[in-house]
Chain A
Amino acid sequence: MNCRTLVELVTDYLEGALGEEERAEVEAHLAQCDGCTAYLEQIRTTIRLTGHLHKEQIPPEAREPLRRIFREWDAGRSASDR
Chain B
Amino acid sequence: MTSTRRFLRGAAAVAALLTATTALTACSSKGGAQSQDAAGGGKRLTVAMVTHEQPGDTFWDKIRAGAQDAARDHNVDLKYSNNENGPEQATLVQNAIDSKVDGLAVTLSNADAVIPVVKKAVEARIPVVVFNQGIDQYAQAGAKMYFGSDEDLAGQTVGKRIASDGGGKALCVIQAQGSVALEARCAGVKKTFPNTENIYVNGADKPAEQASIGGKLQQDPAITHVVTLGAGDAMAALNAETDSGSKAKVVTFDLNPDAAKAIKDGKIGFSVDQQPYVQGYMAVTALWLNLTNGNDLGGGKPVLTGPSFVDATNIDQILPYTSNNKR
Q: Tell me, yes or no, whether A binds B.
A: no
Footprint of A on B, CB under 8 Å? none
